[in-house]
């Protein structure tokens, strides 16, 4: 397992939520940590390229800004990596994960409106060659996905 520096640990742990809503959030983080803004940005980019961070950005309550849906596909096991890579190419996809189920590839799609969402789902079907099951949200629940990291 990778050993993270104290700076990386702080970036991964302390800023899972509460990113400063200012014109220079990385400068604000840098001031709090006691490093340069460029150091924060460089470390976050590297952590993202290494897969330790999937994305940096705001999380909006579903369907308050644009529309979203949970989608699933039944993909043969020997094609799962290939199809997941295609799905990940779509900017509208913000989560993509494998599950142990007949529908084994699940992802969240966001779009500006219902028409764009439908077009995106259709494009994913066409590119992947598998039907997409659209599972729109009927009731929303807030789940805080942040968690404190345990460093050894």
The model's confidence at residue 63, banded by pLDDT at 50, 70 and 90, is: low
Sorting pLDDT into bands at 50, 70 and 90, what band is 51? confident
pLDDT above 80: residue 62: no
| Distance separating alpha carbons of residues 12 and 27, to the nearest angstrom | 16
**pLDDT value for 87:** 95
The beta strand positions in the chain, using DSSP E, are 67-73, 93-98, 105-111, 133-135
67-135 sits in which CATH class?
A: alpha beta
Domain ranges of the chain: 6-49, 67-135
Q: How many other CB atoms sit within 10 Å of the CB of residue 136?
A: 13
Q: Taking residues 4-15, report their average pLDDT.
A: 92
Closest residue by Cα to residue 57 from 95, 83, 89, 31: 95
**Of 2 and 143, more confident:** 2
**What is the CB neighbour count within 10 angstroms for residue 134?**
13
- What pTM was estimated for this model as a whole? 0.62
Which residues pair with residue 71 across a beta bridge? 107, 134
Can you give the pLDDT at residue 132?
Answer: 97
């Amino acid at each position: 397992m990778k050993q993270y520096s104290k700076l990386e640990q702080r970036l991964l742990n302390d800023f899972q939520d509460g990113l400063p809503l200012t014109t220079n959030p990385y400068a604000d983080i840098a001031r709090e940590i006691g490093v340069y803004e460029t150091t924060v940005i460089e470390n976050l980019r590297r952590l993202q390229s290494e897969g330790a961070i999937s994305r940096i950005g705001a999380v909006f309550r579903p369907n308050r800004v644009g529309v979203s849906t949970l989608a699933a596909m039944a993909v043969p096991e020997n094609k799962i990596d290939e199809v997941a890579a295609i799905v990940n190419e779509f900017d509208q996809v913000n989560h993509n994960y494998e599950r142990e189920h007949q529908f084994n590839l699940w992802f969240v799609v966001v779009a500006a409106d219902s028409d764009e969402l439908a077009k995106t789902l259709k494009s994913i079907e066409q590119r992947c060659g598998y039907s997409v099951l659209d599972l729109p949200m009927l009731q929303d629940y807030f789940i805080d996905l942040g968690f404190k990291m345990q460093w050894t």
